[in-house]
Structure 1
């Protein structure tokens, strides 16, 4: 058995503990303020963790807690979340940090950073992306329902009950979108067709869609009960979910489309520039500006161009860079012949890194990993794919790759993608963090973009260093992907802060990447109309990790231990980069004095 937790969604031990202690469930502090700093922090941490379990279906799935409701989308719920964060912040700032252990201070600093950003971010409630392909609320259905447990009749009833909530959830999404519409935050007409396509793709028959009962996992249940549940789900999809989705699509194609702006980027909206400044700090978890980010992008692109020129020389190429790139984009030798070849190449690169892992890391997570093709309805709007971490229902970490248009998807970058997404990238870091026996529950489940994506990009770099790239063409593919990620630092602030048109951004990407027109089209929409600021995290996070590593190497000289450096980064878990920097500095200090680090 999986150690499933029922009750009111809270583990029994936590209910008992909080009821006995009192303070953790009292968000105002109360008696906890008279206790020591560690006890106050524990109370603060537990209230944050209890809230995560109560409100976040993805945390519940990971922890094996029954998912009983979909997240609220209304302003009142957001107001309550912001108020909770404000109370958490006030409690955190009242704690005497000097009285805490080093690891407790990391937890406190992380909680303070998170609460401050949550309170500040509430100001931009109506500017959030909820329709566009990467950030669509509708995507959550295909991420939740296929992973719901189906071990007994109670699970079956909960599955159906959650499907029954979907129509009102879709109507809540439409209410939010209409609220944005009234405040002149409307998705660009350039991305509206994929939005409507996704809405309509979510509708359809119950079987085969996101609300289908997974046949394999329901095979142990009473066939009559399963048939009854399938029939009920079919009725809900046909009579309630599909009409709600069609109403949303009709609104988007009618009054909404009539007012959709032709341009892209946040700067065209009221408070859009202010929001982008916030997003830049949120996603990089550093105090940086769009100007600094863009400058970093230009520096990295210059470095990568030089490295690529060196590889062309080693290959004996006598033509220009443009001619070499045209050769790579048009010669069929550089393109996978089948879906299976894509998967094999992804798995092979991570396997090669795993064979070298002991030279770079002190341990390996236990969770298995795999690569599988994306759902077809997601492929038109997603350039690459995404990693899905292990859960109680699906214990395998999976990279879902885009398997469409293989004649436009060179295999040259697959090794780098594999290392980024699987070993030693996302799977290695996220599964290891979730399996940690030392991190508190709250920190086992945190995810900060710059740390997570920065580590993924650093992992690709590490594979290059470890000799995982088998030939010069694969090495070139590494720099192709690095250049692609570096262009984000230029075009993302360009379109969202500096008033670039989408065509200006696309032209810059054509000049500095080998991406196809299809990929450039989807990526430029992603940055400017879908997830502004998020793409900054990859190279900015990796850049900070390399900076911290270089700092440690300079300070410790021959005493620098790469495995120890990786251990302190991974053992800390996903935290804001400003917090991680303090941890690495403390490790350098202790390592230099003969200690083992924080």
Structure 2
């Protein structure tokens, strides 16, 4: 998921939230109208503060605005926003709130505290990387098929206004990176080398080939000729006189002065306040108080366990070599790379969806109404992208999209496609995010919260449902699932290795190659992803292990009364929550059902 969509928080207030569960329906206490107004105001003020977030949610009121979040004025405004609502919450007594409202209060307290903590770090000095930052979001919007709408003349005019502010941000980003050079906050050289080509593609002077000219080539049929002519001229001027020069200037800086100043170290610990920032990132992404050392050991243990399962598959298919040789065999097996056209990759995912549909109803009785699509990742970011899910709009007018990068279709290996679809699409991110957005019982601000341990943990948990959904019948597809789980276990080892143990990029790549079946190119891209966003990679496995633990507990204690559909309802119905709150909720559900059975 895009970093700008991750509403930051940490592990503070877990104690305060303990032992609170949230029933599916509102309890007998009447809703506190003043508190409801406060939550709504927080949400509305947040959309004004984060207009790109509003656009991503399908709220079109701020589609012409791009706030320069790198300025001191913006930072002051952002700090005042969170402090205002933190102070307002302190004046509200829990005795005046229902159980559901208490959970909303605890979550909002957490949001405010974590964002205030975030602002103590100098993230603004590294505003651009190859994977997570806003220039990639703007590139997606520019293509005309993402969240930024291009349906009316006003839509086209909104985008031009937004671009005027965006090019100012690009200049500010260079200023901040120069300050970062002086203060020791710079990207590793290997990441800078990945950003530069992304910028270079947007310096082309051939308008027909320029990404930002895409909307002009796709005017709606009902546009008048006079509007088409005016907008074509305006877009041509914008791209030639502002966009291309801005990207050229940033490209020249990144490829020369900034590259020369780039770090030779790989982990965040090498930067000022790096250790504190990584500790914060662990709290942020795992929603736990676990240490880097604890997580590193869990990763080593999981790698060992999954390796044993992989050995069984190797024996099943009759491969005689060792496991590392089997990785190479799977990576290079021509039968697993049958495609000659990118559309064939998309069609294969559609076939997987069709195959599993009949079984989905056996595990889920609450399914989203939001439409769903599978698309190829845009060319400008495809080389550095991983498969990903982009949520649909809150009103359901824009579908959830599963993006698949296919930079070289002849080298595309399908052995893990079933597992990938479960994680990124159905019943992974599409179910979890869409059901949250569609839940009318949740206040608006909770509909788009993203707690990575829960969201990514859920998606990884759903990978384990493949056999129950009629998949993984081919041993190579099952090996793909094991490979994906191994990938997340390896992440625990290499992320903590990079950022807390002084590992180099090359050490992390070698460890991954020794334990995974992915190609060196794919693994290199992944390692550089972890380098760009410390701690995010920890969330998947930590969250999955907790959800699997809760399911096993429920099955054991409830026995024949355990209902898998209801378990999934319990996990999904309250939306994204920290893992401790989820555990308390499931424990309460188990207890109440056991009492009912007695």
TM-score by length of 2: 0.88
Counterparts of residues 320-339 of structure 1 (less than 5 Å): 320-338=322-340, 339=342
In structure 2, the CA distance between the partners of 1:179 and 1:75, relative to structure 1 (3 Å rule), is farther
Correspondent of 1:126 among 123, 126, 144: 123
**Per-residue deviation at 1:561?**
1.6
Task: Note if 1:84 corresponds to 2:81.
Answer: yes
Contact 2:267 2:502 in 1 (8 A): yes
Cα deviations by residue, 1:80-107 (Å, 9 ceiling, x for unpaired): 2123212322332433234422222221
In structure 2, the CA distance between the partners of 1:324 and 1:154, relative to structure 1 (3 Å rule), is closer
CA distance in 1 between partners of 2:168 and 2:48 (Å): 19
Task: Note if 1:54 corresponds to 2:48.
Answer: yes
Task: Note if 1:38 corresponds to 2:19.
Answer: no
| Higher mean C-alpha deviation, range 391-400 or range 462-471 | 391-400
**Per-residue deviation at 1:483?**
0.7
CA distance in 2 between partners of 1:426 and 1:214 (Å): 32
Q: Which residue of 2 aligns with 1:12?
A: none
CA distance in 1 between partners of 2:151 and 2:285 (Å): 38
In structure 2, the CA distance between the partners of 1:62 and 1:192, relative to structure 1 (3 Å rule), is same
Cα deviations by residue, 1:483-539 (Å, 9 ceiling, x for unpaired): 1121110001111111111111111101110111111211111112x1111111111
Q: Which residue of 1 aligns with 2:566?
A: 564
CA distance in 2 between partners of 1:257 and 1:318 (Å): 46
Q: Which residue of 2 aligns with 1:344?
A: 347
Task: Note if 1:404 corresponds to 2:407.
Answer: yes
**Per-residue deviation at 1:129?**
4.5
**Per-residue deviation at 1:354?**
2.3
Q: Which residue of 1 aligns with 2:7?
A: none
**Per-residue deviation at 1:290?**
0.9
In structure 2, the CA distance between the partners of 1:143 and 1:380, relative to structure 1 (3 Å rule), is closer
Q: Structure 1 unaligned runs (5+)?
A: 1-35
Cα deviations by residue, 1:438-478 (Å, 9 ceiling, x for unpaired): 22211112122121111111111122343322222211111
Contact 1:64 1:393 in 2 (8 A): no
Correspondent of 2:388 among 377, 386, 393: 386
Counterparts of residues 178-189 of structure 1 (less than 5 Å): 178-189=178-189
| Higher mean C-alpha deviation, range 165-174 or range 92-101 | 92-101
Secondary structure at the counterpart of residue 142 of structure 1: helix
Cα deviations by residue, 1:303-326 (Å, 9 ceiling, x for unpaired): 211111222333344433233323
Contact 2:40 2:443 in 1 (8 A): no
Structure with more relative contact order (C-alpha pairs < 8 Å, separation 6 or more): 2
CA distance in 2 between partners of 1:272 and 1:545 (Å): 31
**Per-residue deviation at 1:131?**
1.4
CA distance in 1 between partners of 2:520 and 2:55 (Å): 39
Correspondent of 1:472 among 457, 460, 475: 475
**Per-residue deviation at 1:37?**
8.7
Cα deviations by residue, 1:41-85 (Å, 9 ceiling, x for unpaired): 323311221122212323334233231211322233123212321
Q: Which residue of 2 aligns with 1:442?
A: 445
In structure 2, the CA distance between the partners of 1:465 and 1:93, relative to structure 1 (3 Å rule), is farther
Task: Note if 1:367 corresponds to 2:370.
Answer: yes
Contact 2:437 2:447 in 1 (8 A): yes
Secondary structure at the counterpart of residue 63 of structure 1: coil
Q: Which residue of 2 aligns with 1:137?
A: 134
Correspondent of 2:108 among 107, 111, 126: 111
Q: Which residue of 2 aligns with 1:247?
A: 249
Cα deviations by residue, 1:337-395 (Å, 9 ceiling, x for unpaired): 2323321222222333322112111222122222211112212222x222122236962
In structure 2, the CA distance between the partners of 1:581 and 1:108, relative to structure 1 (3 Å rule), is farther
CA distance in 2 between partners of 1:540 and 1:464 (Å): 22
In structure 2, the CA distance between the partners of 1:272 and 1:115, relative to structure 1 (3 Å rule), is same
Contact 2:460 2:544 in 1 (8 A): yes
**Per-residue deviation at 1:158?**
2.0
Secondary structure at the counterpart of residue 131 of structure 1: coil
| Higher mean C-alpha deviation, range 202-211 or range 60-69 | 202-211
**Per-residue deviation at 1:200?**
2.1
Task: Note if 1:515 corresponds to 2:518.
Answer: yes
Contact 1:353 1:424 in 2 (8 A): no
In structure 2, the CA distance between the partners of 1:206 and 1:531, relative to structure 1 (3 Å rule), is farther
CA distance in 2 between partners of 1:374 and 1:550 (Å): 37
| Higher mean C-alpha deviation, range 196-205 or range 41-50 | 196-205
In structure 2, the CA distance between the partners of 1:247 and 1:229, relative to structure 1 (3 Å rule), is same
CA distance in 2 between partners of 1:127 and 1:232 (Å): 32
Q: Which residue of 1 aligns with 2:465?
A: 462
Cα deviations by residue, 1:382-419 (Å, 9 ceiling, x for unpaired): 2x222122236962221111112345432111110011
Q: Structure 2 unaligned runs (5+)?
A: 1-29
Q: Which residue of 2 aligns with 1:590?
A: 592
Query: How many residue pairs get matched?
Result: 558
Task: Note if 1:70 corresponds to 2:73.
Answer: no
CA distance in 2 between partners of 1:436 and 1:513 (Å): 38
In structure 2, the CA distance between the partners of 1:467 and 1:299, relative to structure 1 (3 Å rule), is farther
Counterparts of residues 416-565 of structure 1 (less than 5 Å): 416-528=419-531, 530-565=532-567
CA distance in 2 between partners of 1:100 and 1:266 (Å): 42
CA distance in 2 between partners of 1:136 and 1:255 (Å): 20
